[in-house]
A = this chain, B = another copy of it.
Amino acid sequence: MEITTAMQSKVLIHALPYIQKYANKTVVIKYGGNAMTDAQLKNDVMNDLVLLTLVGIKVVLVHGGGPEITDLLTRMGKESRFVGGLRYTDAETAEVAQMVLAGKINKSLVSLLQQHKGKAIGLCGIDGNMFQVKKHIAQEDLGFVGDVVSVNTHPIEMALENGYIPVISTVGADEAGNIYNINADTAAAQIAAALGSENLIVMTDIKGLLRDKNDDSTLIPFVQVSEVPYLIRQGIISGGMIPKVECCVEAVRRGVKKAVIIDGRIPHSILVEIFSDEGIGTMFQ
């Protein structure tokens, strides 16, 4: 594919105002799915994040890691148990989550960003009392599953002001020192809101919100948060999409300029989302 001078100038003329718009703005990225397991996509994402910082965007990376928790529990001969889609988390499981998320995945992402010439710092909700946590209340007791009551943004801002990408594991502690595992989508939305970030980008393994789940050509590019209840009643937003969309709604309601669900399987989807007119995936505003 040949790229002509005219094409270059056209892309640049469209991109430059976005670059200026995002300069010194904060973008929170919830990282997960294929983009976190496929080696090539993973490298592309790290590369894109470093590029974003090069043009002055403040990037915050929030990650999950369910499959790897299951894996270590298995290696320790312990079975994973799920209740209504959520992992039942006894004290030993919470400790394993802490080790896998804050010890393994977090520091390995920091290392990978640095291999791509970025600067990064790995933090979790415990560091600098970042998350105030309380036990998540559900119909059935889920053990040490936590909700974020509020976010102390100081440790994140300190990292950003010093030129680091903060990489955040969603593990937290209550005042008595009990460790809790926390849903990463929800935590990312709360971090985005607390930071007054410009943008929340949730990476998934789907095209975006589809009018017909089986037809990628029915992508809904833009949703007003006020339309969401109607779309849920219509069944267009359903199942596992509901909590993801609710995170987006929550973020926008609390001042984030836009929240987007994008398809992490498309190479460089973050870059195109930020620097083009159309964007990709579904944007909530």
Interchain CB contact under 8 A, B9 and A268: yes
Q: Which of B54, B75, B127 is close to A122, meaning CB atoms less than 8 Å apart?
A: B127
Give Cα A171–Cα B100 distance, bound, in whole angstroms: 15
> A55-B16, A127-B120 given as contacts; is B267 within 8 A of A9 (CB)?
yes
Which B residues touch A114, using CB under 8 A? Answer: 126, 129, 173
Interchain CB contact under 8 A, B13 and A3: no
Interchain CB contact under 8 A, B164 and A128: yes
Q: Which of B3, B112, B171, B175 is close to A11, meaning CB atoms less than 8 Å apart?
A: B3
Give Cα A19–Cα B47 distance, bound, in whole angstroms: 16
Proximity string of chain A (3-47) to chain B, C-beta cutoff 8 Å, 1 when within and 0 when not: 101111111110111011001000000000000000000000001
Q: Which of B1, B104, B115 is close to A99, meaning CB atoms less than 8 Å apart?
A: B104
Question: Is A209 part of the contact surface with B, judged by Cβ < 8 Å?
Answer: no
Interchain CB contact under 8 A, B122 and A107: no
Give Cα A147–Cα B284 distance, bound, in whole angstroms: 46
The residue in chain B whose Cβ has the minimal distance to the Cβ of A20 is: B54
Question: Is A67 part of the contact surface with B, judged by Cβ < 8 Å?
Answer: no
- Closest CB-CB distance, A112 to chain B, in whole Å? 7
Which B residues touch A17, using CB under 8 A? Answer: 51, 54
Question: Is A196 part of the contact surface with B, judged by Cβ < 8 Å?
Answer: no
- By size class, the interface of chain A is 35 or more
> A100-B99, A128-B120, A164-B128 given as contacts; is B272 within 8 A of A5 (CB)?
yes
Question: Is A237 part of the contact surface with B, judged by Cβ < 8 Å?
Answer: no
- Closest CB-CB distance, A4 to chain B, in whole Å? 8
Which B residues touch A102, using CB under 8 A? Answer: 102-103, 106-107, 122
Known: A19-B19, A99-B103. 8 other contacts (CB 8 A): A3-B11, A7-B11, A8-B15, A11-B15, A12-B268, A16-B54, A17-B51, A103-B104
Q: Can you identify 29 A-B contacts, CB atoms within 8 angstroms?
A: A1-B10, A5-B272, A8-B11, A9-B272, A11-B11, A11-B12, A12-B268, A13-B51, A13-B268, A75-B76, A95-B104, A99-B99, A102-B122, A103-B103, A103-B104, A107-B127, A107-B173, A108-B177, A111-B177, A111-B179, A115-B176, A115-B177, A119-B128, A120-B127, A122-B123, A154-B162, A155-B164, A158-B158, A158-B162
| A residues neighboring B (CB under 8 Å) | 1, 3, 5-13, 15-17, 19-20, 23, 47, 51, 54-56, 72, 75-77, 95, 98-104, 106-108, 110-112, 114-115, 119-124, 126-129, 154-155, 158-159, 162, 164, 171, 173, 175-177, 179, 266-268, 271-272, 275-276, 280
